[in-house]
């Protein structure tokens, strides 16, 4: 019983962890805490699902659910690049709080824009990977959850290898450590920022594509709750550690699922209370997060 709840929780947490990794990537690369990732992904998926229903303008092609997910990833990445160039780059030398407030504005803008363009009606979001339910250790998991788990592992592994084994990854870490010194060594820090936001945006689109179908539909602002859980995961795990982000997100997913399964269904707020306690507890005991480095605190 508890075991199956934990497994479900891990699967939920895995989906959060994709956004959490995006948050960590952007924080490590640019020292900006972005709370817009959920909305960036949701916007990408909105476009994908709308095109699936109405056909892509001009081309007229109606993409499948899988292609809608791919479109979400691409639009998410493009949005990330656009935000980096237009909003974040002018803020490079400003206090970190300004960056946070700017991403807050971006989140608000995207959510309200969705509302305006697409209205309040939910858009049906079919699973890009089919509707099979797979039972793992007694936990019935929809295919999307399993896909989220697999993707999270793959993405995190790929990013980790990229950051530690490749030259551009080394440059990214140098830019994080000291942007001025990195520039003097020939590192183009702007391309590091661009990379962080582009990949971060694409990851957000990916999260939306694998997370939303579990609920069958997408509504404006629906992503907010998830991105906040992911943010909690990133903070708990340590804002500059990819593995920390995953660990934190899994923790959030498990705690939330277990609490939710064990209290009366009318009181689903207990789950968010548990998350609040988890965030506060971690930050007070260890401000840098479980795996974060001293620079975070």
Partner 1 sequence: MSPELFAPRRRPPVVPAVFGLVLAVVVLLGPLLLQPGKVSTLVTAIAIAITALGLDLLVGKTGQLSLAHAALLGVGTFSAIGLGGRGIPWPLAFVGAIAITAATSALIGLPSLRIRGLQVAITALAFQVFADSFLFQQNWVKDNTLTFTPPSFFDPAQHGFRRLYYFGIVLLVLTVLVLRRIDATRAGRSFVAVRDVEARAVAFGVTPGPTKLLAYALSGAIAGLGGALIAFKEGSVNDVGTFNLQASLLLVAVVVVGGAGSPVGICLAAFFVRALPNLIPPGASLPVIGEVATSIPILFAAFLVINVVANPEGTGGQLRSARRRIELLLSGPRARPSPRPQATDPVASAVRAADLRDVPRGLPSRLPVPALLTGRDVTVQYGGVRALSDVSLEVRRGEIVGLIGANGAGKSTFFNAVSGLAPVQGSIRYRGQELVGTDAARRSRVGIARTFQDMGLIRADTVRQNLLLAQGWMARYPQSAGILALGSSVRDERELRRRADLALELFGLDHLANETLGGLPYGTMRICEIAAAVSTGPDLLLLDEATAGLTPEEANALGDRFLALRSELGLTLVVIEHHVPLIARVCDYTYCLESGQLIAEGTPDDVTAQPRVIESFLGKGSLRESGSAASLREPAPA
Partner 2 sequence: MTSPLLEVESLCSGYGALQVLFDVSLTVGEGEIVALMGSNGAGKTTTLRTVTGLIKPMSGHVRLDGAEVTGRPPETLVPRGVVMVPEGRGMLRDLTVAENLALGAYVSRDKAAIAASLDQAFTTFPILAERRSQKAGTLSGGQQQMLALGRAIMSRPRLMLVDEASLGLSPIMTETAFNLIAEVNRTGVAVLIVEQNVLALDLADRAYVLEKGQIVATAEGADVRTMQGRLREAYLGRAAP
**Site residues (vs partner 2, CB under 8 A):** 167, 170-171, 173-174, 176-178, 180-189, 293, 295
Would strands 139-142 and 133-136 be described as parallel, antiparallel, or unpaired? Answer: antiparallel
Residues forming the site for partner 1 (CB under 8 A): 33, 35, 86-87, 90-91, 94, 96-98, 100-102, 104-109, 111-113, 115-116, 221, 224-225, 228, 231-232, 235, 239, 267-273, 275-276, 279-280, 283-284, 287, 296-297
Phi, psi (deg, nearest 5) at residue 22: -60, -45
Query: Closer to partner 1 at the Cβ: 56 or 283?
Result: 283
Given the structure tokens 């920022």, which residue do they identify?
193
Q: What token pair was written down for 275? A: 């998350």
Query: Closer to partner 1 at the Cβ: 75 or 88?
Result: 88
| Contacts (Cβ under 8 Å, ≥6 apart) of 199 | 22, 25, 77, 80, 159
221 makes contact, choosing from partner 1, partner 2, none, with CB < 5 to 8 Å by partner type, with: partner 1
Query: Closer to partner 1 at the Cβ: 92 or 136?
Result: 92
Smallest gap, in angstroms, from Cβ of residue 292 to partner 1? 10
**CA pair distance 163, 178, nearest whole angstrom:** 16
Closest CA relative to residue 26, chosen from 65, 68, 79: 79
181 makes contact, choosing from partner 2, partner 1, none, with CB < 5 to 8 Å by partner type, with: partner 2
Query: Closer to partner 1 at the Cβ: 59 or 284?
Result: 284
Smallest gap, in angstroms, from Cβ of residue 291 to partner 2? 14
Q: Which helix (H) or strand (E) holds 139?
A: strand 139-142
Query: Closer to partner 2 at the Cβ: 116 or 167?
Result: 167
Smallest gap, in angstroms, from Cβ of residue 201 to partner 1? 16
258 makes contact, choosing from partner 1, partner 2, none, with CB < 5 to 8 Å by partner type, with: none
283 makes contact, choosing from partner 2, partner 1, none, with CB < 5 to 8 Å by partner type, with: partner 1
Smallest gap, in angstroms, from Cβ of residue 244 to partner 1? 14
Query: Closer to partner 2 at the Cβ: 184 or 285?
Result: 184
**CA pair distance 99, 69, nearest whole angstrom:** 29
Smallest gap, in angstroms, from Cβ of residue 141 to partner 1? 24
Given a contact cutoff of 8 angstroms between Cβ atoms, the answer to whether 42 and 114 are in contact is: yes
Smallest gap, in angstroms, from Cβ of residue 241 to partner 1? 15
Would strands 123-124 and 217-218 be described as parallel, antiparallel, or unpaired? Answer: antiparallel
Phi, psi (deg, nearest 5) at residue 87: -105, -50
The number of angstroms, rounded, from the C-alpha of 26 to the middle of its chain's C-alpha atoms is 11
Closest CA relative to residue 87, chosen from 75, 71, 104: 104
Residue 9, Cβ density class (10 Å: 0-12 exposed, 13-18 middle, ≥19 buried): buried
Smallest gap, in angstroms, from Cβ of residue 193 to partner 1? 15
């Amino acid at each position: 019983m508890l075991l199956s709840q934990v497994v479900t929780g891990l699967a939920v947490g895995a989906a959060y962890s994709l956004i959490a990794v995006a948050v960590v990537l952007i924080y490590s690369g640019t020292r900006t805490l972005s709370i817009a990732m959920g909305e960036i992904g949701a916007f990408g998926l909105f476009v994908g699902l709308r095109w699936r229903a109405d056909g892509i303008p001009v081309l007229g092609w109606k993409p499948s659910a899988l292609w809608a997910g791919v479109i979400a990833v691409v639009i998410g990445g493009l949005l990330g690049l656009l935000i980096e160039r237009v909003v974040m780059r002018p803020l490079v030398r400003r206090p970190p709080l300004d960056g946070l407030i700017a991403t807050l504005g971006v989140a608000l803008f995207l959510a309200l824009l969705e509302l305006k363009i697409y209205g309040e009606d939910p858009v049906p979001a079919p699973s890009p990977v089919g509707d099979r339910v797979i039972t793992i250790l007694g936990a019935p998991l929809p295919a999307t959850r399993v896909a989220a788990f697999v993707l999270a592992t793959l993405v995190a592994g790929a990013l980790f290898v990229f950051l530690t084994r490749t030259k551009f990854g080394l440059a990214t870490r140098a830019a994080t450590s000291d942007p001025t010194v990195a520039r003097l060594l020939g590192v183009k820090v702007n391309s590091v920022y661009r990379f962080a936001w582009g990949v971060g945006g694409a990851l957000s689109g990916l999260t939306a594509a694998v997370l939303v179908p579990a609920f069958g539909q997408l509504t404006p602002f629906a992503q907010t709750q998830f991105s906040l859980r992911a943010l909690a995961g990133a903070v708990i795990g340590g804002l500059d550690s990819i593995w920390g982000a995953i660990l934190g997100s899994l923790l959030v997913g498990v705690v939330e699922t277990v609490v939710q399964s064990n209290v009366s269904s009318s009181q689903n707020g207990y789950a968010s209370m548990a998350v609040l306690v988890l965030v506060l507890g971690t930050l007070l005991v260890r401000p840098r997060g479980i795996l974060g480095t001293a620079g975070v605190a």
